[in-house]
């Protein structure tokens, strides 16, 4: 969502495109032509790949401390927020890609909340 698209793939069969963790939501999006912003190249340095997990949270890798620290800076943070570059898919997942994002790289590293 919001594209209302379903993508299917076989785990471990997509080429790794060197953005985010292999098999992450961002990696899958890049392989299957789903637009997901990623200003920092998937290095967990911004929040532009912020997604909200609607279903299948148990089918994602657990968030590590670096991701949780970065998520604290995300606009519109929810209890179901994840960074697409860090969330590795292990089964069926439905996510919403918010229309807004915070890009700390282009904003000079400053946060105005």
CATH code of the domain in which 87 resides: 3.10.20.30
Please indicate, yes or no, if residue 64 is contained in any of the structural domains. yes
Query: Which residues form the domain of 34?
Result: 25-96
Please indicate, yes or no, if residue 32 is contained in any of the structural domains. yes
pLDDT score recorded for residue 95? 92
Please indicate, yes or no, if residue 76 is contained in any of the structural domains. yes
pLDDT score recorded for residue 67? 96
pLDDT score recorded for residue 15? 79
Q: In whole angstroms, how large is the CA radius of gyration of the chain?
A: 13
pLDDT score recorded for residue 100? 64
The total number of structural domains in the chain stands at 1
Question: Can you tell me the distance from the alpha carbon of 65 to that of 16, in angstroms, rounded to the nearest whole number?
Answer: 24
pLDDT score recorded for residue 6? 79
Please indicate, yes or no, if residue 70 is contained in any of the structural domains. yes
Residues of the chain with pLDDT under 70: 1-3, 100-113
Please state the pTM of the whole predicted model.
0.82
């Amino acid at each position: 969502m919001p594209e209302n698209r379903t993508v299917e793939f076989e785990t471990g069969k997509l080429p790794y495109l060197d953005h985010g963790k292999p098999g992450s939501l961002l990696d899958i999006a890049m392989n299957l032509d789903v637009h997901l912003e990623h200003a920092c190249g998937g290095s967990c340095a911004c929040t532009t790949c912020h997604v909200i997990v609607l279903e299948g949270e148990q089918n994602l890798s657990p968030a590590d401390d670096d991701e949780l620290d970065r998520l604290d800076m995300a606009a519109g943070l929810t209890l179901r927020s994840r960074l697409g570059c860090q969330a590795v898919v292990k089964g069926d997942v439905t996510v919403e890609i918010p229309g807004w994002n915070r890009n700390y790289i282009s904003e000079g590293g400053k946060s105005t909340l």
